[in-house]
Amino acid sequence: MTPEIDAKVRASFARQTMMTTLGAELLDLGKGTARIAAPILPGSRQQQDAGHAALTFAIGDSAAGYAALTLFEPDDEIMTVEMKINLLRPAVGDRLIAEGRVIKPGARITVVQADVFAETDGVRKQVAILQGTMIPVTQSPQ
Amino acid sequence: MTPEIDAKVRASFARQTMMTTLGAELLDLGKGTARIAAPILPGSRQQQDAGHAALTFAIGDSAAGYAALTLFEPDDEIMTVEMKINLLRPAVGDRLIAEGRVIKPGARITVVQADVFAETDGVRKQVAILQGTMIPVTQSPQ
Amino acid sequence: MTPEIDAKVRASFARQTMMTTLGAELLDLGKGTARIAAPILPGSRQQQDAGHAALTFAIGDSAAGYAALTLFEPDDEIMTVEMKINLLRPAVGDRLIAEGRVIKPGARITVVQADVFAETDGVRKQVAILQGTMIPVTQSPQ
Amino acid sequence: MTPEIDAKVRASFARQTMMTTLGAELLDLGKGTARIAAPILPGSRQQQDAGHAALTFAIGDSAAGYAALTLFEPDDEIMTVEMKINLLRPAVGDRLIAEGRVIKPGARITVVQADVFAETDGVRKQVAILQGTMIPVTQSPQ
């Protein structure tokens, strides 16, 4: 992955105000991989005080999408076509970590997965798996 | 739907701090249906300034879950087992509206769907469809 | 829908040998809709003698795909990118009927849904819902 | 895995007449894993002569389900609640091989994944990934 791609992905992440709202942080990037962490903020909870499914979805979907974006040209953007999430256990812990990866890149369709973990005192428990589809967009889609 | 169930669902919604963070509002409830609206806040955007997929997911998933909760006993809670979202177009407009409904209720498994629309000057365009599974939980799950 | 499209879809269906193996029949086509029926043959069962999930998937996925194909040019073919199925109850009855429909057509991505019913003595019970993505292909894809 | 569980899973597979129709074979079982192979029979094709998506789904779903069944009591049966498949490339080759695994077992909900490969002259290409939910049933479900 070139420094240009690295900078492009980080700039895109920084423009996602939802990531800022959730306190999410882009940990690291590789060719076809991305890791994002987020605390379980007081404002990100469900009714039983665990992290909301939308928080888990948000960082899982974004990790998968940015994993895909590392494989595209500097001018391309990526959009989620569809995403499926299975929740394994309540999102309880010090923070959540999402690991996204590309299963099959493609000019038309890129298939991705992500795992999301809850970390407590350095011990991780898996809280979700995601599987979905990304497409490149060269300009604002309609 | 009894007033007791109506009050229970609204209290559960009020405890979801993520809904408050996103500015979401529970519009109305029926037997097996729920509608939730949310503005596209400055802090809920993706990198191209449309509503983030996690916002659309958040209100679609919650509308589907609360639709299910209307059919359960006052002591029950509901948890998302899995949810699949297909995004149809960017979430651009004055606000988003999610309509959840139960396709098949069940003591073990409840199957749900939701549609999410973007409303601009009173005109609605569909931005997403969701299909998923809810299960009842009688106490905090592990 | 022109007679040319109608003939094209029926010819494509006839080339799917899996449909013949399962005894499936293309009932009718509309603009963005398709209906397929199949008996629950002795060779299409799961371990408890109900119709196999793959039978339900087969006609649901095909009904959704052919619903999409009715909206494309005569030279186009359609391919399933991804499909999600929720099974509501065992597939037991005289025959299964799948109703596919296009939720949002598109040159790059077409989003579809299907319902599958089991019919017994003319009474239908819903056994599955499907939600997925189709893409057009102009020649054999790689 | 006890010999009793091994025998139970193989007997269940043998009762699935759909597996016989598709020529599928249960290759091997482990604790939480199962592998199934199937040829791309003349009667299992889609309109462009590749293996039908329903064939890929059939062995992927069954490999995931039998992976789950290896973790349950001898009297239990397993049922697919929902399954999502992403198709990566056309199913072309000498045979398909599905590898199912349990991601998280549970008394109420078991989350599974499967990979499906097409093998040609001993070389494998991945054609699909699946992610879904199984539940145990102690008797014929309603």
Per-residue HEC secondary structure of D100-125 comes to EEEEECCCCCEEEEEEEEEEECCEEE
Give the best residue of C12, C26, C46 to mutate against chain D (max D CB count within 10 A): C46
A-chain CB neighbours of B98 within 8 Å are: none
Place of tokens 């997925």: C132
Query: Looking at residue C140, what is its pLDDT?
Result: 46
H or E element at residue A36: strand A33-39
Name the CATH topology of A3-137: Thiol Ester Dehydrase; Chain A (3.10.129)
Query: Looking at residue A75, what is its pLDDT?
Result: 87
CB-based contact, A58 to chain B, within 8 Å: yes
pLDDT confidence tier of residue D139, bands split at 50, 70 and 90: low
Mean pLDDT over A57-68 rounds to 98
Cβ A133–C81 below 8 Å, yes or no?
yes
Query: Looking at residue C137, what is its pLDDT?
Result: 87
Mean pLDDT over D102-106 rounds to 97
Q: Is the pLDDT reported for residue A74 higher than 90? A: no
Query: How many CB atoms are closer than 10 A to CB A1?
Result: 13
Q: Which of D88, D104, D131 sits opposite A84 (nearest CB)?
A: D131
For C90, residues 6+ apart whose C-beta sits below 8 A from its C-beta are C48, C50, C51, C127, D140, D141, D142
pLDDT confidence tier of residue D4, bands split at 50, 70 and 90: very high
Cβ D16–C46 below 8 Å, yes or no?
yes
Query: Looking at residue A139, what is its pLDDT?
Result: 53
Smallest CA–CA distance, residue B142 to chain A, in Å, is 6
Do residues A11 and A29 make contact, with C-beta atoms less than 8 angstroms apart? no
Lowest mean pLDDT among A130-139, B39-48, B50-59, D131-140: D131-140
Q: Is the pLDDT reported for residue B92 higher than 90? A: yes
d(C-alpha B116, C-alpha B54), whole Å: 12
Cβ C52–D89 below 8 Å, yes or no?
no
Q: Which of A:26-45 have CB within 8 Å of B?
A: 42-45
CB-based contact, D133 to chain B, within 8 Å: yes
B-chain CB neighbours of C104 within 8 Å are: 88-89, 126
The whole-model pTM stands at 0.96
Q: Is the pLDDT reported for residue D119 higher than 60? A: yes
d(C-alpha A42, C-alpha D29), whole Å: 45
CB-based contact, B137 to chain D, within 8 Å: no
Mean pLDDT over C127-137 rounds to 96
D-chain CB neighbours of A129 within 8 Å are: 103, 111, 113, 131
A-chain CB neighbours of C133 within 8 Å are: 81-82, 133
A-chain CB neighbours of C81 within 8 Å are: 81, 109, 133
pLDDT, tens digit (0-9, with 9 covering 90-100), for C51-63: 999 999 999 999 9
Domain ranges across chain B: 3-137
d(C-alpha B19, C-alpha A140), whole Å: 28
Do residues C29 and C6 make contact, with C-beta atoms less than 8 angstroms apart? yes
Cβ D103–A133 below 8 Å, yes or no?
no
Mean pLDDT over D83-87 rounds to 98
Per-chain mean pLDDT for chain B: 95
A-chain CB neighbours of D68 within 8 Å are: none
A-chain CB neighbours of B7 within 8 Å are: none
Q: Which of C:60-99 have CB within 8 Å of B?
A: 84, 86, 88-89
Taken in order D43, D87, C60, D29, the sign of the CA dihedral is: positive
pLDDT, tens digit (0-9, with 9 covering 90-100), for D14-39: 999 999 999 999 999 999 999 999 99
A-chain CB neighbours of C103 within 8 Å are: none
Query: DSSP letter at D58?
Result: H
B-chain CB neighbours of A79 within 8 Å are: 87
H or E element at residue A9: helix A3-15
pLDDT, tens digit (0-9, with 9 covering 90-100), for C22-49: 999 999 999 999 999 999 999 999 999 9
Cβ A126–D103 below 8 Å, yes or no?
yes
Per-chain mean pLDDT for chain D: 95
Give the best residue of B9, B12, B17 to mutate against chain A (max A CB count within 10 A): B17
d(C-alpha C89, C-alpha C114), whole Å: 16
Lowest mean pLDDT among A55-59, A115-119, C134-138, D113-117: C134-138
Q: Is the pLDDT reported for residue A125 higher than 60? A: yes
For the residues of C12-32, what is the DSSP string, one character each?
HHHH-HHHHHTT-EEEEEETT
Smallest CA–CA distance, residue D62 to chain B, in Å, is 19
Tell me which chain A residue has its CA closest to the CA of residue B141: A90
Distances, alpha carbon C123 to alpha carbons B75, B129, C95, C99, D49, in Å: 35, 28, 11, 16, 36
CB-based contact, B135 to chain C, within 8 Å: no
Smallest CA–CA distance, residue B117 to chain A, in Å, is 15
d(C-alpha D131, C-alpha D95), whole Å: 22
| Residues β-bridged to residue B118 | B96, B125
Q: Is the pLDDT reported for residue D61 higher than 50? A: yes
Query: Looking at residue D122, what is its pLDDT?
Result: 93
Phi-psi region of A92 (alpha: psi -120 to 50; beta: other; left: phi over 0): beta
Cβ B108–D135 below 8 Å, yes or no?
yes
What is the 3 state secondary structure string of chain B? CCHHHHHHHHHHHHHCHHHHHCCCEEEEEECCEEEEEEECCHHHECCCCCECHHHHHHHHHHHHHHHHHCCCCCCCEEEEEEEEEEECCCECCCEEEEEEEEEECCCCCEEEEEEEEEEECCEEEEEEEEEEEEEEECCCCC
Q: Is the pLDDT reported for residue B73 higher than 70? A: yes
Q: Which of B57, B80, B85 sits opposite A87 (nearest CB)?
A: B80
CB-based contact, D12 to chain A, within 8 Å: no
Per-chain mean pLDDT for chain C: 95
Query: Looking at residue B87, what is its pLDDT?
Result: 98
Distance of CA C64 to the CA centre of its chain: 5
d(C-alpha A87, C-alpha A126), whole Å: 9
Question: 3-class SS at A83?
Answer: strand
Closest to C102 in 3D by CA, of C64, C48, C135: C64
D-chain CB neighbours of B84 within 8 Å are: 84
Query: Looking at residue B74, what is its pLDDT?
Result: 87
